[in-house]
Structure 1
Amino acid sequence: MREILPALSRWYARGAPFGLATVVAVSRSAPRDPGAAMAVGPGDEVVGSVSGGCVEGAVFELAQEVVASGEARLETFGYSDEDAFAVGLTCGGEITVLVRRVTPDEDPSFGAVADSVAAGHPVTVATVIDGPAPRGATLAVRPDGERGAAEVVAGTLGPAGLDAAVAADARGELALGATGLRHYGPNGERREDDVTVFLHSFAPPPRMLVFGAIDYAAAVARIGVFLGHRVTVCDARPVFATPERFPAGVEVVVDWPHRYLSGTDTDARTVICVLTHDPKFDVPLLEEALRRPAAYIGAMGSRRTHEERMRRLREAGVGERELSRLRSPVGLDLGARTPEEVAVSVAAEIVALRWGGTGAPLTATAGAIHPTGTTPG
């Protein structure tokens, strides 16, 4: 939903009611993950998507009905073998969508949530989708850095015990960057048969650190922004590390790469791309990178450069377990030549590693196309 928040914030600021449809559960080969959203606003303007086109028409009509009635609706869409013309998912999967009306009076937490997401602050939105608690009721939660606890930003799901239990779980999901369903008793007890709550985590965008301010870095930075990363490019050479050479919104830092990385926080979602292919930069930088949390560490260079780099890293005391994390030569085998093609190759490897993809053509694979499971925020 992050990508449609600017439009939703405009409607919300005007006090214009809109219908917000959110995917809350998927099964089998569903085209979108939990958290995917579509909204119908003033003048029947539509933003976002819940299925990539399969059921958007039906969700559009459903959102219109919800805006008119004010009553939240929960609908499941799947594939119908019996009726080829029925609304459903041609991929054979199934999605469950919650549609609710949003206005400042009905959802006072929405503005705070939108502001937090826009500012890059972590927040989780808990929404009741089924059970005795009011369907569509929301509770926004963020971590309290000083106390290490959960802080309720706005809203309520009803009973104080339910709010407390959901807030604690929401903080845990946020720490993992996860989104999914939880079940509770009416007062927050751990039960499977009463209140079903959808926890939607908005963690800050993952970081992409690109080292080496070359043409390839500009292309990788551009596709990193496209994939939703907060991108920083670092190079020790001020003549190359200039903001004008990189896309808008990319942070450009002049510093020795290993020194910059040693003073920078990384986590399990961070992507590190080493494009300098110069030993005096690469080796101390990779020594630092391979010993800290990161989702992806890739280094550019020929196979000969790779072998020489590995030798130098071993001499520097980097162990085999740490070296096994290095993706080098960087990227998937696409036959890429230009900086833009290489960037696509790198991005493809990052996505494949994130979701456990093989990188093989889909025509050569079998089974579900879309992975299922808990969705990172």
Structure 2
Amino acid sequence: MDKQVFFGLKKVFEQNMEAALITVTSVLGSTPRKPGAKMLVFADGMTIGTIGGGCGEAEGRREALNVLWTHESKTYRLNMTADIAQEEGMVCGGIMELLIEYIGAHNPLEISGLYKDYLSALENNDDPILATLIEATEKSQVGRKLIISNQKVVGDLGNQDLNNIVFAKGKVSTGRCQPSLICLDTKFNFCEISSPKLAYRLLLEPPTTVVQLLILGAGHIAVPLATMAKIVGYEVTVVDDRPSFANVNRFNTADKVICDDFERVLETYNINSQTFVVIITRGHRYDKVCLRKVINQPAAYIGMIGSRKRVKSLIIDLEEEGVPSEVLRKLYSPIGLKIGAETPEEIAVCILAELIKVQREETKPKMN
């Protein structure tokens, strides 16, 4: 969940306000936002977050105000045809399906409680997965939610078979950075969204769709990697203990630049299932310090640069120190996709390509 929307929802509950939460649940064709994007609309028309801007967002906002008036959640198909979008200087031509949920005093207590539990789990870094029923045979079931957090389950989708399927799916989805759609027929078998037998659709959302990239080492490869990763949409943090390297002048696109001892930084840095870690320090000693600190963390990706001989030596050292070999197999090394990269910029491209590939769940750790 976007930080702004998170804090907006907290404000809604803390101040007993009313709001409508818009979530993009599915898209068809060219659209400005993808599933999971959210926008919060208040009764005075103020908004937090975005579902793409322009005329499409204005239409979504209007429907959200209607939901605030009726106190009834609903789904809405937003047709962003090219001729309409062109009026705003955009050519989209796609369709976004929106789930628009009423949040306020007219919610049943259990719904308000679920939202509060979810926000609390996010705040405590419990990596909750949120499942929302967006289509069902019984209209009254639409909008029901289930929260899966550290093997705990809160909520009810109105059917035990649905609960069981989502729980099983949620366990294997841990670490995903993108929302996913579950489509089921009347017998609870998986099916395509276009299937005539489609009876249920559920949206599974990870704790956040903002992927965090932690770059350990601020050398020549780190500069283009930080720049390109930011363009792709990562939240970038760069760490190094050398002031001449770790500074905002060299990394003016990074979200955060930390100049401090690697070990000290990693003692308190929050690494979660949406964190990608790239170790590209200036030497074996610093690589070892960083890898020792991060290898047991629930990162989505841990990669380290270095020759096979150098990496193998480091792995042996850590195994002798008691780090289990199965844990060390999480390491991606040699780092990056094989594209014949030579320059720092090309190496940064091959590293970023591997991050994207892992993010889309198309590969496995490749430690040799």
Shorter-normalised TM-score: what interval? 0.5 to 0.7
Is 1:142–2:153 an aligned residue pair? Answer: no
TM-score, scaled relative to structure 1 = 0.64
How far off is 1:101 after superposition?
A: 0.7
How far off is 1:323 after superposition?
A: 2.8
Q: Within 5 Å, which residues of 2 pair with 1:213-228?
A: none
How far off is 1:63 after superposition?
A: 0.3
Higher relative contact order (CA 8 A, sep 6+): 1
Q: Counterpart amino acid of 2:118?
A: V
Identify if the C-alpha distance between structure 1 residues 120 and 234 changes in structure 2 by more than 3 Å, giving closer, same or farther: farther
Alpha-carbon contact 1:271-1:296 (below 8 Å) kept: yes
Q: Deviations over 1:250-281 (max 9, x none)?
A: 69544499xx79xx98979523142x435664
1:169 equivalent in structure 2: 169
Structure 2: runs of 5 or more not aligned: 192-196, 248-253, 316-331, 363-368
Alpha-carbon distance in 1 for matches of 2:117, 2:314: 48
Alpha-carbon distance in 1 for matches of 2:353, 2:96: 23
Alpha-carbon distance in 2 for matches of 1:256, 1:111: 34
1:194 equivalent in structure 2: 199
How far off is 1:25 after superposition?
A: 0.7
1:124 equivalent in structure 2: 129
Structure 1: runs of 5 or more not aligned: 145-149, 300-308, 334-344, 357-371
How far off is 1:234 after superposition?
A: 5.4
Q: Within 5 Å, which residues of 2 pair with 1:56-95?
A: 56-80=57-81, 90-95=91-96
1:340 equivalent in structure 2: none
Q: CA RMSD in A?
A: 5.1
Alpha-carbon contact 2:41-2:65 (below 8 Å) kept: yes
Alpha-carbon contact 2:183-2:190 (below 8 Å) kept: yes
Alpha-carbon contact 1:241-1:253 (below 8 Å) kept: no
Instruction: Determine helix, strand or coil for the equivalent of 1:176.
Output: coil
**What is the percentage of aligned positions where both structures have the same residue?**
19
Identify if the C-alpha distance between structure 1 residues 216 and 297 changes in structure 2 by more than 3 Å, giving closer, same or farther: same
Identify if the C-alpha distance between structure 1 residues 122 and 240 changes in structure 2 by more than 3 Å, giving closer, same or farther: same
Instruction: Determine helix, strand or coil for the equivalent of 1:121.
Output: coil
How far off is 1:47 after superposition?
A: 0.9
2:327 equivalent in structure 1: none
Is 1:211–2:216 an aligned residue pair? Answer: yes
How far off is 1:158 after superposition?
A: 1.5
How many residue pairs get matched?
A: 321
Q: Counterpart amino acid of 1:14?
A: Q
TM-score, scaled relative to structure 2 = 0.65
1:305 equivalent in structure 2: none
1:233 equivalent in structure 2: 239
Q: Counterpart amino acid of 2:334?
A: L
Alpha-carbon distance in 1 for matches of 2:118, 2:29: 31
Q: Deviations over 1:133-161 (max 9, x none)?
A: 525423232244xxxxx4222x3222333
Alpha-carbon contact 1:210-1:233 (below 8 Å) kept: yes
Identify if the C-alpha distance between structure 1 residues 66 and 204 changes in structure 2 by more than 3 Å, giving closer, same or farther: closer
Identify if the C-alpha distance between structure 1 residues 42 and 14 changes in structure 2 by more than 3 Å, giving closer, same or farther: farther
How far off is 1:34 after superposition?
A: 0.7
1:40 equivalent in structure 2: 41
Alpha-carbon contact 1:24-1:98 (below 8 Å) kept: yes
Alpha-carbon distance in 2 for matches of 1:350, 1:67: 46
Alpha-carbon contact 2:218-2:245 (below 8 Å) kept: yes
How far off is 1:326 after superposition?
A: 7.3
